Amino acid sequence: MFIMSNENRYNAIIRIHCPDKEGIIASVTNFIKKYSGNVVALDQHVDISNNHFFMRVEWEMESFQLPFDEIEKQFQNEIADSFQMHWTLNSTKQHPKMALFVSRLSHCIYDLLARYQAKELEVEIPVIISNHLELKPIAEQFGIEFHHFHITKENKEDQEEKELILLKEKGVDFVVLARYMQIISPKFIESYPNNIINIHHSFLPAFAGAKPYHAAYERGVKIIGATSHYVTENLDAGPIIDQDIIRISHNDSIKSLVQKGKDIEKIVLSRAVKAHVNRKTLVYKNRTVIFN
């Protein structure tokens, strides 16, 4: 008996944005058809107020008559140039490398690592970084390298530089701040543009900044939320990837808000990470398109 190699059973994904114009979809799908690719997912969006076009298309490489390595050049010449496209190509074989930044709270990291271990998240996790030691045992539980970078006002610049060197060594593609209680410097952010995902424990833009549950309690809201977003230089103001909420009441103390909030924080962060990993996100003018 002969077992077919799975090596060619993967998909290519292209994400595009460009000025809207007649015939973009036809051109892109013709390109794939021409090389005998079979489209398995296509989602497009037109931002009418900006007259801008967005598209994600995924197709099977098994039957595709163009080697993956040559897609970039051909697509650029045949299609992208004429439409002034910004675009990226990925393959589902490439599992992106994710670094986790944590402080003392364990709910988000557990949720992500449990999914990782259950092979629900198609990433590699070469390193977990923290400014505290409390969660080191969890990294060990899952057999992942843990690095401790103690951060003070004075050493922050140095420490971030060392962190960046470590991330580079490990080939990290994107960073997840899983309730990491430090503000990241602009320099760090520039090293990973639209590749740092944060979870903020409020339905942004409400209660940006510190202690959102205390602020929510004071304001007397009847709903609390959590927001995952890409980190930009403006604190808690980056492009939103996902949000969710939970209903509360006057019966809830700040302590119970914190507790209930954890359940949505971890789910919203994991959903955002999954969308990012599956190349379903696209950032444009500080907003996201989240493809199907």
User: Would you please indicate which residues are annotated as catalytic (active-site) residues?
Assistant: 236
By beta-carbon proximity to a copy of itself, the closer residue of 162 and 222 is: 222
CB of residue 91 vs a copy of itself: minimum separation in angstroms? Answer: 20
DSSP string, 237-250: -SPEEEEEEEE--T
CB nearer to a copy of itself: pick between 115 and 156:
115
Alpha-carbon distance of 253 to 220, in angstroms, equals 11
Query: E strands along the chain, which residues?
Result: 11-19, 38-47, 52-60, 86-91, 97-102, 124-130, 146-148, 174-177, 196-200, 223-230, 240-247, 281-284, 287-290
Nearer residue to a copy of itself within complex by CB, 166 or 283: 283
Q: With respect to a copy of itself, which residue has the nearer C-beta, 172 or 289?
A: 289
Q: Which H helix or E strand runs over 267?
A: helix 254-277
The distance of closest approach from Cβ of residue 107 to a copy of itself in the complex, given in angstroms and rounded to an integer, is 7
**Residues near a copy of itself, by CB under 8 A:** 22-23, 25-26, 29-30, 32-33, 36-49, 54, 105-107, 110-111, 114-115, 117-118, 120, 141-142, 203-207, 219-223, 225, 239-245, 247, 249-251, 253-254, 259, 262-263, 267, 270, 286-290, 292
Cβ distance to a copy of itself smaller for residue 46 or 183 = 46
Cα–Cα distance measured from residue 181 to residue 189, given in angstroms and rounded to the nearest whole number: 15
The distance of closest approach from Cβ of residue 251 to a copy of itself in the complex, given in angstroms and rounded to an integer, is 6
Least distance from a copy of itself to the Cβ atom of residue 289, Å:
5
| Backbone phi and psi for residue 16, each to the nearest 5 degrees, phi listed first | -130, 145
| Letter string b/e over residues 104-129, b meaning 16 or more CB atoms within 10 A of that residue's CB | ebbbbbbbbbebbeeeebebbbbbbb
User: C-beta of 77: minimal distance to a copy of itself in Å?
Assistant: 19
The C-alpha angle 183, 185, 187, rounded to 5 degrees, equals 160
Helix, coil or strand: residue 86: strand
